[in-house]
Amino acid sequence: MTHDVHIIGGGLAGSEAAWQLAQRGFRVRLSEMRGSGDTTPAHQTEGLAELVCSNSFRSDDDERNAVGLLHHEMRRLDSLVMRAGEIARVPAGSAMAVDRDVFSAEVERVLTAHPNITVVRERIDELPTSGLTVVATGPLTAQGLAESIVRATGQDRLAFFDAIAPIVHRESIDMDVCWFQSRWNKGDGKDYINCPMTKEQYLAFHQGLLDGEKIAFKDWEADTPYFEGCMPIEVMAARGVDTLRYGPMKPVGLDNPRDTTPEFPQGRWPYAVVQLRQDNKLGTLWNMVGFQTKLKHGAQVELFRTIPGLENAEFARLGGLHRNTFLNSPLVLDRQLRLKGGEHVRFAGQITGCEGYVESSAVGIMAGLMTAAELAGTAWTPPPRSSAMGALLAHITGDAEAETFQPMNVNFGLFPPLHDVKKKSRKEAYTSRAKADFSEWLESAARVPA
């Protein structure tokens, strides 16, 4: 098939861009390296849109949460990721979590069945010199292509470390010690497994994180910073003895039913808690929330089995660490994600410096819409700055300072401020304004060609 657009990378962003273009009648060649004999240090399968670090798309609350608002906007644009996410959804309170295998299989099924999409398993080592191209190779771009991108931008790549949390087999968790409960009983109230810790157990665990044997850095990795939103647990532990108790191990809103008194008949809050979230539809796999780590595998098994309820834990996957790369987008990309000096090439997803599954997917959607408008000869206006998509795009393509640019999750700090609204009502005000402005933007077919 002769194609109108070449998309390089079959992750979340590339899959979304391909879907948006194909649905508008444009022919897409989607190149994915995995399946051609190549892979990455983090991927486990050859499936399109494989989820690597977590199985969660985070909060699905579109009234008070910026990422939930982004979900809402993506659904309005017929997001393939949101479609597949609903099919693969597993319980996770107010969050949207999915069965990884079901999710990836659904995305691949839809894309490979589409008459306007040809999926090719091949590694691309050079940026194309002509033809509309969307590069969505993510933070683990293969070396040859990464070097080609560096030459084209004239800039050094920025980089940070990203870490993967362990996954535990459900049957190996001791439910005589642990219990089901969501914090403050959100969702159905039973979407997480909680492992309680006393003060003595927590302090011993904290020391174990500090003392455990870590993965050694290579020389070229030594000065690479971590991303604050995906910090290895031992790095958080090094920041202070109570840091974890105010982060992934916070006990607030969790009543241990094994520790009741007349004063606390529903159970008291433990000193610290390790939470596990369902990772597949069968409920047989549960991931350790916030437990990204660079501990060596042997050290992980030894230490994590000191957690109450996980003494006999069997791990389907242990934690890991990989080096992510991204562009200094405010410096090298224009407002339509095009490479300055090579405008036939767009970038999408995490390589642009957004962070998170949902953000990567949303940027993929926008790259697809921009390219569709260009092919149709139609002017494309970006989503309003007051929307989640518009705020994220503005941050990537110019609002952020190039000298200090770092990956960013969507958050209300990226939105135009509402200083005249009381603080307690501000989140609702942000979402109400965003939904109204986004709806108005959607009414113009010229902005979103169909």
Averages of pLDDT over each 10 residues, the chain, 450 residues = 92 98 97 85 85 91 93 97 97 93 97 98 95 93 88 78 86 96 86 97 98 80 72 93 96 94 88 94 90 94 98 92 83 95 96 93 98 94 95 89 82 89 90 96 67
Instruction: Say what the pLDDT of residue 211 is.
Output: 96
Instruction: Say what the pLDDT of residue 446 is.
Output: 42
At position 203, the amino acid (one-letter code) is L
Quick one: angle between helices 66-76 and 426-442, nearest 10? 20
Which residues carry a binding-site annotation for FAD?
Answer: 9-14
Q: What is the DSSP string of 196-235?
A: EE-HHHHHHHHHHHHHSPBPPPPGGGTTPPBPGGG--HHH
- Domain residue ranges of the chain, discontinuous segments joined by +: 5-156+327-442, 164-323
CA separation (Å) from 369 to 24, 26, 358?
Answer: 9, 11, 17
**What is the CATH architecture of 5-156+327-442?**
3-Layer(bba) Sandwich (3.50)
Which residues carry a binding-site annotation?
Answer: 9-14
Largest separation between any pair of C-alpha atoms in the chain: 74
Residue in 100, 54, 16 with CA at minimum distance from that of residue 365: 16
CA separation (Å) from 412 to 364, 386, 387?
Answer: 21, 10, 10
Could you say which of 3.30.70.260, 3.20.20.70, 2.40.30.260, 2.60.40.10 is the CATH number of the domain covering 164-323? 2.40.30.260
Number of H helices, E strands in the chain: 12, 17
Contact 5, 27 (CB under 8 A): yes
Contact 127, 145 (CB under 8 A): yes
CA–CA separation, 81 vs 327, rounded Å?
24
Instruction: Say what the pLDDT of residue 41 is.
Output: 72
Instruction: Say what the pLDDT of residue 218 is.
Output: 66
Instruction: Say what the pLDDT of residue 143 is.
Output: 84
- pLDDT tens string 57-95: 999 999 889 999 999 999 999 999 999 999 999 999 889
CA–CA separation, 332 vs 354, rounded Å?
15
- pLDDT tens string 419-431: 898 888 989 999 9
Instruction: Say what the pLDDT of residue 63 is.
Output: 87
CA–CA separation, 139 vs 325, rounded Å?
5
CA–CA separation, 220 vs 165, rounded Å?
24
Which two tokens mark 447?
């902005």
pTM strictly above 0.85: no
CA–CA separation, 120 vs 173, rounded Å?
41
Rounded to the nearest 10 degrees, how much is the dihedral formed by the CA atoms of 356, 358, 359, 363? Answer: 130
Instruction: Say what the pLDDT of residue 219 is.
Output: 65
